[in-house]
Amino acid sequence: MGHHWDLFWLLTRTEFRMRDQGTWAGFLWTLLHPLFIFLILYAMFTHWMAPRVENYAAYLLIGIVQWTFFATATTAGLTSLRRKAGLLSHYSFPRVLVVLSAVFSVLLSHVLEWGVLLIGLLLLGVHPSACWLLLPAVILVEVLLAVGLSCLLSVWAVHLRDLDRAWGIVLYGLFFMTPVFYTADVLGEAGRMMLTSNPVSAIIEASRGIIIDGSVSRLPSIAPAFVLACGLCGAGMALFPRLSRGLVEKL
C-alpha cells in the first residue's frame, strides 16, 4: 500500500508539472482562463443579474471556479490512460492510479485557485465566517463525482477514440444548464428542477451559500449530489479493474 501511495504521489506531481504548473509562473497562466471567462460573462450579464444578485462578481467567480474544476478534472481523467500509454505498456501497477493522479493533479490546482479566490472575495467585500471551514466538504463531493466519472470515461475513451470530443460537447451543454452566470429562479420551475437534477449546480449553490451568505442553509440540497457522487465513485472504482482488462493492447 505504501508503495502504491508513493507511486500515486509521483504520478500526481508529474501530471501537475506537465500541465505547466510546476512553477508559479505556470500556475498564474492557468488562472488566466477562468479570469478571462469571468471578465466576459461579467461584462455581458452584470446589468441583467446585478439587480437580482447581491455581489454578483463574487457569485460569478465561485460558479466559474467550481465549474472549471469539474470540466477540467473529468477531461483530464478521460484522456489519462491514452496519454500514459507508454508507461502502462512497460510497467505493471494498478491502472486506476493513472486516472486518480490526473484528477488529483487538477485538484491541486483547484486548491491553489481557491486560495487566490478567497483573497479576491475578501477584496470584493465578502465577510469570512466559520462556515468557510465547510468548503472542503463541498469540494470533496465534487472530487468524488469527478473520480467516478473519470474511471468510467477513461476506459470508454480507449475504445471510443472520439469520446473526448463528445464529452466536450456534453460539457458545453451542461455549462449552460448550470447556474454559473445566472440564477436558477430566472428559469422558474424548470430552474428549480435543474438544481435538483444537476449535481454540479447543487455543489456550486452550496459553495455560494457557505462563502457569500456564511450560511449552511443550502447544504441539505447537496445531499442528492453526495449520494450520486459516492455511487459513481464506488461503481467506477469497483468496475475499473474489470473494464480495463486487456486495455494495454488497445492503447
- pLDDT band of residue 205 (cuts 50, 70, 90) is very high
pLDDT of amino acid 187: 77
Helix extents (H) in 50-134 = 56-83, 85-90, 96-123
pLDDT-above-70 percentage for the chain? 93
- pLDDT band of residue 85 (cuts 50, 70, 90) is confident
Question: What mean pLDDT is reported for the chain?
Answer: 89
- pLDDT band of residue 24 (cuts 50, 70, 90) is low
Query: Which of 26-40, 54-68, 100-114, 142-156 bottoms out in mean pLDDT, i.e. has the lowest?
Result: 26-40
- Report in angstroms the alpha-carbon separations of 25 from 29, 30, 84: 6, 9, 25
Distance in angstroms (rounded) separating the CA atoms of residues 31 and 26: 9
Task: State the cell numbers at 79.
Answer: 484522456
Distance in angstroms (rounded) separating the CA atoms of residues 113 and 81: 26
Supply the pTM of this predicted model.
0.92
Closest CA to 100 of 50, 29, 34, 149: 149
Task: State the cell numbers at 4.
Answer: 502504491
Question: Pick the residue with more confidence: 141 or 190?
Answer: 141
Helix extents (H) in the chain = 2-16, 24-49, 56-83, 85-90, 96-123, 135-159, 163-176, 189-197, 199-208, 223-243
Task: For residues 183-195, give the mean pLDDT.
Answer: 76
Distance in angstroms (rounded) separating the CA atoms of residues 73 and 142: 10
Task: For residues 141-159, give the mean pLDDT.
Answer: 96
Is the per-residue pLDDT at 3 higher than 70? no
